[in-house]
Amino acid sequence: MSTPFPSPSRLMLALAGLPGLLAAQPGPAVTTLPQVTVQSDAIQETATGPVQGYAAQRSATATKTDTPLIETPQSVTVVTREQMLDQGAANIQDALGYAAGVRSDAYGLDSRTDSVRVRGSSPDTYLDGLRQAFDYYTSTTRTEPYTLERLEVLRGPAAMLYGQGSTAGIVNMVSKRPQDTFQGEVGIQYGSHDRKQIQADLTGPLTEDGQWLYRIVALKRQADTQVDHVPDDRTVLMPSLTWRPSAATSLTLQALYQDDKSGSTSQFLPWAGMRTPNPNGRIPTRRFIGEPDHDRYDSRRRSVGWLFEHRFNDDWSFSQGYRHARNKVDYFTHYADSFSLPGGWAADPDGQRIIGRYADDSITEVRIDTLDQHLQGRLRTGIVEHRLLLGVDWLQYRRERESGFGYSTIDAYDPVYGNFTPPTLTEEPRFKLRQTGIYLQDQMKIGRNWIVAAGLRHDRARSGLDGGRTDKDQATTKRLGVMYVADNGWSPYVNYSESFTPQASTTRSTPEGGVPETYEPLRGEQWEVGVKHLSEDGRNLFTAAVYTLKEKNRLVPDESGPLNNVQTGKTRNNGLELEWRGQISPSVDLIAHYNYIDLDDELEGMPRHQAAAWGKYRFSVAGIDGFAAGAGVRWMSAFRDGDAPTTQSVVLWDGMVSYETRHWRYALNVNNVTDKTYVATCLSRGDCWYGARRSIVASATYRF
């Protein structure tokens, strides 16, 4: 008979009390550490703090410890705040456009969510190391890049540390946090589609002794999109407060208030008229087939939480993160019936103008509580230095939803609105999920050059719908990485990792209208072999990796309907990734990557080849410093998803010019400079998505 886990509060107390049992270990005990202030123009980089340039040297995403990337035996990409600023990233998809192993516009322009693919699969998203959401776009709010310090992609299974990490890996977003020196900025933007935005970021000490620090990030935007009748309005307020009673203890309180008013730029339009010939020509990229006074994607996100850390002595510390989040989405939409016949014009197979459209309305509210805490310590046994991590995480997720469906038709080439009946909403069964995991990790440094990272975790999860079956799942997952850190800067490694992902928000219908049932958890494993190189000055980081990913219980579209899924047996994909980030001279920053992936036939199509490069050059004009110009190119090869028409290869260009003084920064960003009209993806089920057209944004920022 299995023994249930103790409650998270008991586990927290047990972890916090462990250092007392380890008092006999080497290392002087301290009760209060002296506070040291260092004056320097350079940033002392940490795993969660600011980074100068494009090449971060440290991260905590892959290990939950502050570890140099050159000593991390797994693929990690860090997108810094400076890169997001230079590239004018308006969303997370934009910010990941130049990240290795990532397809950032997997479903084209999508105002509802940031749909990215990592190594062929959909990654899970985390914020400050805590799970951010479970559902798809039906109940999530897009994260505002302006609130982030950095954006990190851990490629490959991550269940040993995160439990819910998918086979693809995770995208971990790191929030801006209070700083101990005063700094602030206020900025404005104006750009394509009547984009108007104002933003502010203020941080510094509240008290002279530096015990209390604050940060306030705020943003207000009104904008349209390239699709008619779809706005992109946003209000964000993110305050945070840090209390540091001593150099040994830190508590940061965080909150978020975010309101979005938008719609769906995804119209799910058919092959014929998007990718294959249509007697009426190509469907315009601005086409909206919904109802202007009805369709919307309005979301409201509220969250509160904290990040706590205490050092018992030089060797042992305790950390805890907690967040309570509440998200509500009114999602009223119409999407094209592209699935009934090949080509998608079942309502008008000859004329191919009148298209069926599904009305799909829902109001969804979700609540998620996440808690992660761990004890970290250093030990030495002979020639082996151990960095131990013992932790427990817990989450509770609840979803309430009411929904309704309808059907009507519209002329896709000359739409006349108003011919529809709003669906009647009915309440769905409440969904609940609870999961607890215990994990142990040992980062071992053997002698001078060898590193071994080993970990083991056990999870238990309960999920189900009111009135239906409760599924109980448990899994033990592991990870092992071995790396040799050579004296010449090269670090070859091999890594094995596993994943375990309960399908928290996805259900399948039962015969004769029974209560929907949940799917089995996804299980995955990966072998990865790679090498990293850090230049002697620490400014350039090169990584190369080859991998094999296997997964079972993968969800794929079912032939019975476009929105129904079945769980396949086993899938497999292989790939190669090359990435270079750094500063090739004091005036030039450069990032570049190349991806190759060979997908299993049962997985959605992806370009086999992708490559991108971005560079920034700083220069003077007439003896005046502060000018910079940036240029980037993104390329993907042609690909095909099952029986769908081939999605053609595409080359996209981006650019930036800026001028910066001590207090001011002026910039002009242009994405998709040539205004290339392209189809990002066509799926075998019958629908296609357009990619983003040209976007021009001018900005001015005053810093103080």
| Position 497 pLDDT exceeds 80 | yes
- Please give the distance of CA 497 from its chain centroid, rounded to a whole number: 20
Spatial contact of 528 and 546, defined as CB atoms under 8 Å apart? yes
193-202 contact pairs (CB < 8 A, 24+):
193/223, 193/224, 193/225, 193/226, 193/232, 193/695, 194/222, 194/223, 194/224, 195/221, 195/222, 195/223, 195/224, 195/232, 195/697, 196/221, 196/222, 196/223, 197/221, 197/222, 197/223, 199/146, 201/146, 201/176
Tell me the pLDDT band of 517, cut-offs 50, 70 and 90.
low
Average pLDDT for residues 175-200, to the nearest whole number?
97
Please provide the DSSP assignment of 147-193 as one string: GEEEEEEEES--HHHHSS--SSEEEEEEE----SS-EEEEEEEEEGG
pTM given for the model:
0.90
Average pLDDT for residues 98-114, to the nearest whole number?
94
pLDDT computed for residue 509 by the predictor:
54
pLDDT computed for residue 472 by the predictor:
85
Mean pLDDT for the chain?
90
Spatial contact of 670 and 649, defined as CB atoms under 8 Å apart? no
Among the residue ranges 416-420, 593-597, 615-619, the one predicted with the least confidence is 416-420
Span 545-601, pLDDT tens digits: 999 999 888 776 666 555 566 776 788 899 999 999 999 999 999 999 999 999 877
The torsion region of residue 162 among left (phi > 0), alpha (psi -120 to 50) and beta comes to alpha
| Position 10 pLDDT exceeds 60 | no
Report the amino acid identity of residue 304. V
3-class secondary-structure state, position 614: strand
Among the residue ranges 16-30, 135-149, 264-278, 309-323, the one predicted with the least confidence is 16-30
| Position 3 pLDDT exceeds 60 | no
| Position 621 pLDDT exceeds 60 | yes
- Output 472 or 364, whichever has higher pLDDT: 364
Span 431-464, pLDDT tens digits: 999 999 999 999 999 999 999 999 999 999 888 8
3-class secondary-structure state, position 17: helix
| Position 48 pLDDT exceeds 90 | yes
| Position 11 pLDDT exceeds 50 | no
159, 86, 26, 201: which is closest to 524 by C-alpha? 159
